[in-house]
Amino acid sequence: MIAIALWSTASITPAAWSDEPNKLEEAMIAEQFRAAGLHRLTAEELAFLNQWLERHASDTSTDFGAEQLPLPQPGATEPTEERTAVVGLFEGWSGCTVFTLANGQVWQQRLPGKYHYKKTENPPVVLIRG
């Protein structure tokens, strides 16, 4: 089982929750940046693309989390953990990995780093609120 702890310095955060503007050259590992052909852009072209992506991301994420959630019942406590599964084949993470979970959440690796895990189909995970 894979446990993912959620705290302010976590290396994995919900993809849509990231308030930090990421530059492509920081968000991608070098191999991905090169494979996308972005290394061929001039500094001005890359700056324009980063600005466009930042504006577009802020336009699409302004309503994220604005949905009306039910109020908790008096005396009820929020669960500190949730059990779900990674959807599909899981082999670890490699720097910018996006994780789709069976509960509908989508998480993206925030900090660089790689972790190799044996190929596993739909492995269970535990999300722990920190």
What span, in angstroms and rounded, lies between the C-alpha atoms of 117 and 94?
Answer: 11
- What's the predicted TM-score (pTM) here? 0.43
Q: Tell me what pLDDT residue 64 has.
A: 57
Residue type, 84: T
For 24, residues 6+ apart whose C-beta sits below 8 A from its C-beta are 33, 38, 46, 49, 50, 53
- Tokens for 101? 């979970």
Q: Tell me what pLDDT residue 12 has.
A: 46
| Tens-digit pLDDT profile for residues 76-94 | 677 788 899 999 999 999 9
Strands 12-14 and 106-109: antiparallel
What span, in angstroms and rounded, lies between the C-alpha atoms of 102 and 117?
Answer: 19
Q: Tell me what pLDDT residue 61 has.
A: 54
Q: Tell me what pLDDT residue 22 has.
A: 66
Distance of CA 76 to the CA centre of its chain: 29
Residue (of 9, 11, 36, 12) closest to 24 by Cα position: 36
Compute the average pLDDT of residues 44-57.
Answer: 84
pLDDT at 66 > cutoff 70: no
Q: Tell me what pLDDT residue 62 has.
A: 55
pLDDT at 59 > cutoff 50: yes
pLDDT at 31 > cutoff 90: no
Compute the average pLDDT of residues 40-66.
Answer: 76
Q: Tell me what pLDDT residue 51 has.
A: 87
Residue type, 6: L
- Of 29 and 58, which is predicted with more confidence? 29
